[in-house]
Chains A and B, each alone.
Chain A
Amino acid sequence: MRSLGWIALNGFRESVRDKVMYSLVVFAVLLMGMSYTLGQLTAGQDLKIMKDLGLSAIAIFGLFMAVFIGIGLVSKEVERRSVYALLAKPIRRADLVLGKYMGLVLTLMVNVTVMTVALYAVLAYVGWGENEFARQAREAPALDPALLKAVGLTLVQLMMVTAIALFFSTFSTPMLSAALTLGVYVAGYFSTDLRNFDQVVDSRVAQLLARGLYYVLPNLSPFDVTAQVVHGLPVGWRYIAFTSAYGLTYIAILLVISATIFSRRDFK
């Protein structure tokens, strides 16, 4: 357990040293700042646009971090041959995989927090200058705490994507892992269509296959509640709890498979 913590902490330090990640965070924060200018062009609805842009920036830049750092978690160690030195130490291979994953999740949490603070800062500035009519007419307040619900679910989604990237990186090359992870990410948004496949095809086999894929592929669209939060629609805690629990279960499955593959891998 202690070794797991050390590996996670080292993984976090390693990610922090990665300059690409800094540029992504800086770019996301700048984008949110720029949304103020963009809001001026919109004939009203500047707050909505800032919230949309801010939440999307967190999700998109978080996705880049999750994919491009996630795919290197294991493969980089193998490529640099530092994996031999690590495996010579009294740590289990499974701990190495889990520790690496936790390190990146910690990094993602820090980055998402920075981007969220930046988003709230921009919203506070805009909300401060609002007149009374605009305040009464808007669907949700500028500093709406419900935005944190969207951010929280986005974080769980990013944790899933990281687990997917880690899974592919245990047996594939970095480039292929990135392509496969992004492919699964896109498919994850369409998985609801697979559930309704029986409405478009008659073949029983195709229906069963589609239903099977629906349960196997990650269902990522329920994690995107931006539209509801921005329009002040309710997102219940029950929904958040079930969706997060689904995400965490899916992550656990992927981590078990990744650890098993990595444990059985021959590095000779």
Chain B
Amino acid sequence: MTGQARRPLVAAVAAVLMLSALSIWLQAERDRWPLPTNSEETLYLSQRATSRIVFAHRALVSDLYWLRAVQYFGGHTRIAQARQAGVLGPPPALAAAPPDAFNLLYPLLDITTTLDPRFNIAYRFGAVFLSEKYPHGPGRPDLAVALLEKGLRNSPEKWQYWQDIGFVYYWSVHDYLKASAAFRRGADLPGAPWWMRSLAATMLAKGGDRNTSRLLWTQLYDTANNEYARNAAKMKLMQLKAIDDLEQLQAALDRGVLRSLPRDPAGTPYRVGPGSRVELSPESPLFPLPTEPGTRIGS
């Protein structure tokens, strides 16, 4: 190619580069002034209507709703955590009904599982999302159980859903009788692991002591089949370790032998708060610590 023939090509490349730079700048400028949007809008249809409208490729549409549910949960969790960590919390009237109340989470999960009734992860993770307390989730164990029961109607052979129901009753509702019953129902199904039955017995005998919690989360950690579930279980195990640490540190502080404050299992230093209480830093990824299930009365 001669120099003269190359000139138009060079000019075209230069023009494309300049226009691309202009396009990037325009987008960046526009993003500084976003239009007001209402993210609380979704197409929520009844099960019957959903089945009719999505007449083909239901599995694909259910995947899209699942992606939407994951993003919705992640986005709202981030907003809620930022709000809680902020200097100015919401006024009391709003605090009762947080503005980021995850209202659409259950509808999104319901549509996902209506379109694909055997969408295993949507039931299992969906239940985890729903039962997490604010700001980590909406704190709706009732909806978590409803979702898992829907899963059992569609796949009665899934002992894992009984395990998850038991888990919700144990961890979020602190109803050990129901938790034990759920573990037992799951243990009766073919293919259920041996530890489900012993879990049911332990639950009935000891209720929510910390070692039972640790056992439960360790089982979930060991049997997790993906990184998300493994990380969630790891986080809970670290929180339990933090509770142990706080008790020991508080005792040391009370005795006057505490020289320095170590870091929590996630790497953020503990701190001494009002009333000389050793506590977790709000900046720690483990914050806030879960309410521990209580020990069964009489045990």
Contact = CB atoms under 8 A, between A and B. Distances in A.
B55 A52 contact: no
Contact of B226 (A59, A134, A186, A190): A134
A195 B121 CA distance: 34
Contacts of A94: none
A59 B67 contact: no
Contacts of A49: 63, 66
B205 to A, nearest CB: 30
Nearest to B225: A137
Contacts of A221: 55-56
A136 B121 contact: no
Contacts of A231: 118
B224 A133 contact: yes
Nearest to B73: A43
B66 to A, nearest CB: 7
Interface residues of B, number: 25
A41 interface: yes
A4 interface: no
A221 B62 CA distance: 17
Interface string A172-192: 000000000000001001100
Nearest to A59: B57
Interface in A203-255: 220-221, 224, 226-227, 230-231, 233
Interface string B223-242: 11111110000000000000
* Interface size range of chain A in the complex: 20 to 34
B59 A227 contact: yes
Given A43-B226, A137-B225, A52 B66 contact: no
Given A189-B55, A226-B57, A42 B66 contact: yes
B134 interface: no
Contacts, number: 74
A56 interface: yes
Contact of A53 (B60, B66, B125): B60
Q: Is the interface of B mostly helix, strand, loop or mixed?
A: helix
B248 interface: no
B67 A42 contact: yes
B71 interface: yes
B208 to A, nearest CB: 27
A186 B63 contact: no
Contacts of B70: 41-43
A52 B63 contact: yes
Contacts of A53: 60, 63
A233 B228 CA distance: 26
Contact of A45 (B57, B66, B223, B224): B66
A139 interface: yes
A44 interface: yes
A48 B118 CA distance: 11
Contacts of B67: 38, 41-42
B161 to A, nearest CB: 14
Contacts of A233: 118
Interface string A38-76: 100111110011001101100110000000000000000
Given A42-B70, A227-B59, 16 more contacts: A38-B67, A41-B70, A42-B121, A43-B125, A43-B226, A43-B228, A44-B229, A52-B60, A53-B63, A189-B56, A190-B55, A220-B56, A224-B57, A227-B116, A227-B118, A231-B118
30 contacts: A41-B71, A42-B63, A42-B66, A42-B70, A43-B70, A43-B121, A44-B226, A44-B227, A44-B228, A44-B229, A45-B66, A45-B120, A45-B121, A48-B121, A49-B63, A52-B62, A55-B59, A56-B57, A59-B56, A133-B225, A134-B226, A137-B226, A138-B225, A139-B118, A190-B55, A221-B56, A227-B58, A227-B116, A227-B118, A233-B118
